[in-house]
Structure 1
Amino acid sequence: MTTERSNDRRKAGTGHRDSPVTRAAVLSAALAIVDRDGVDGLSMRRLAEAVGRDPMVIYRHVPNKAAVLDGVAEVVFAELTVDAAASDWVAEMRRVAREFRRVSLAHPRVVPLLVTRPLATPLGQRPPAVVRPLEDMLALLTRAGYTEADALHIYRALFGFLYGHVLNELQEIVERPEETDDLLRLGLYRLPIGEFPLVRGLASVLAVYDGAVELERGLDILLAGLAATLPGPDLAAPPGPGEATLPGPDDAPATR
């Protein structure tokens, strides 16, 4: 009976008992489980089965489930890169934003971890892959002419927007997909018209939510606002397609 159970465990796992187990292999297996079954579907037992090892082997690389969740966020953050030497900081910020959205849509069930797990650990104790986007973004912006403090403000504004954007894009907004009427499809008929006339009136707009378009529009607003309120470098290069012209601090409209 013991031999049969051992064979069953070996078959259930994706690892090979004759190959070494590494932390990277453990986290890769954990990411696959979360991608497929969500955070609630991840357990140390299931992770051990996926790697094809006894659970005690897993504990040598990750001491508990919290460490596994931190590691999963680390693996996904490692997919995000910032070119600190980019000559056009505005274009690079847009590229980073688009890349963050791509990574998030590729791992939608990991997104809550990207938003919450780093906050559970002091900045200096977070994995390098989690801190690297911050360091490279600061380098990009200070090279462009911003002060270090303003560069940090811009980073926080950008990623605060990105976290909110992907969470909003990934939320389920369709209640009855078989309906053709937008008010019914989104369940907005449940809202009293006397209390929520504006929300109900936006049914047709809410029904055609386009994440890529919303991202670009949000970046237009964010970047233009940052350029108008933070003194920084002159933007000599004309904006590319879909990019708003960013006014300098002297271009703000006069107050009447």
Structure 2
Amino acid sequence: MAKERASAQNKDDRAGAGPARRAGDRGRYGRLSRERVLASALELVDREGLSALSMRRLGAELGVEAMALYRYAASKDALLDGLVEALYLELEERLATADRTGTPKWRNELHRIARATYEVCLAHPQVVPLLSTRMLAVPLARRPLAVLRQHERVLALLRDAGFGEVRATAIFRAFTGWVLGYASVELQAMVDNPEEPDPAFRLGLHRMPSQELPRLREAAATLAERGGPEGLTVGLEALLDRFAGA
């Protein structure tokens, strides 16, 4: 990963060495690069949410005019795709460590991928909705390479474990749906009034009709607590047991 980023930086440096480079490409932190632009966009969204992200605002963060950013992200949609790319690059970095456990490799590796994905999602909760919405908008072949490499990682792992194409694809879909769905549920908004010490009023249960929603009101306090990585593991084990035993 470090070599890839260094190579990308060198390309940016060579591309900007000639007189055609715009003065606006040099911000308060020096020469821009795609990595720096995406890192700043991620920091901004982590801090203030997706609604704060715009070319003008990101340019101000970097100390350049907004037009200077279009070299690195051609549109707002491209910038959003870049945020997805940044999360998957972080996932790759987390997965770069060697596997030293003795459990069956394919299952252990899927658990490792799931746990790392969960950790990345919790580290960047404001970006998590894009992991679903951008996949709905962007065709497979146009997704960032980091996303495609992760798809390839899981599918190759399953095929190497002896699953045929159809079964491997089914497991891939179930695995992806469980992990991203679990992370999304963990991060869903639950608290109605953070300043309220009483749990029922904190969750806003008084706003929910008791006769129409008795079970939901009863379960709300438990739903508000995160299941954590343990819940992720239990659900994934059940899912993999189903496919392994079929």
TM-score, normalising length from structure 2? 0.77
Q: What RMSD over aligned residues (CA atoms) do the two structures have, in Å?
A: 2.4
Aligned length: 213
Higher CA-based Rg: 1
Q: Select which of 65, 72, 77 maps to 1:54.
A: 65
Residue of structure 1 equivalent to 2:54: 43
Instruction: Show the counterpart of 1:198.
Output: 215
Bigger RCO (CA 8 Å, 6+ sep): 2
Deviation at 1:183, TM superposition (A): 4.1
**Structure 1 residues 25, 91: closer, same or farther in 2, change over 3 A?**
same
CA distance in 2, matches of 1:75, 1:209: 25
How far 1:189 sits from its partner (Å)? 4.1
Measure, in 1, the Cα distance between the counterparts of 2:138 and 2:156.
23
* The structure with more helix, counted as a fraction of residues: 2
| Displacement of 1:184 | 4.0
Cα 1:76/1:195, change in 2 over 3 Å: same
- Rounded to whole Å, the distance in 1 between the matches of 2:123 and 2:134 is 18
- Per the alignment, residue 211 of structure 1 pairs with 228
- Cα separation, 1, equivalents of 2:37 and 2:31: 11
Contact 1:142 1:148 in 2 (8 A): yes
Q: Which amino acid aligns with 1:60?
A: R
Residue 164 (structure 2) pairs with residue 153 (structure 1): no
Instruction: Give 1:204 deviation, angstroms.
Output: 4.8
What are the superposed Cα offsets for residues 64-121 of structure 1, whole Å, 9 maximum, x if unpaired? 11111111110111122368x9761111111111111100011110101122113322
**Structure 1: stretches of 5+ with no match in the other structure:** 1-12, 228-247, 250-256
Cα deviation for residue 206 of structure 1 reads 2.8
- Which amino acid in 1 is paired with 2:82? G
Counterpart for residue 238 of structure 1: none
CA shift digits 1:187-220 (9 cap, x unpaired)? 3344333333322333453354333232123213
1:237 maps to which residue? Answer: none
Of 66, 90, 106, which aligns to 2:77? 66
Partner of 1:22: 33
SS of equivalent to 1:200: helix
Q: CA deviation at 1:14?
A: 6.9
Identity among equivalent pairs (%): 44
Looking at structure 2, the residues matched to 204 and 176 of structure 1 have their Cα atoms a distance apart, in angstroms, of: 14
Contact 1:189 1:200 in 2 (8 A): no
| CA shift in 2, pair 1:140/1:65, >3 Å | same
Hey, what's the Cα distance between the residues in 1 that align with 2:221 and 2:58?
Answer: 44
1:128 is the counterpart of 2:141: no
Matched, 1:33 2:50: no
- Corresponding position of 1:75: 86
Deviation string for 1:109-135 (max 9, x for gaps)? 010112211332211121210111110
Q: Structure 2 unaligned runs (5+)?
A: 1-25
Moved over 2 A (4+): 13-16, 174-180, 182-214, 224-227
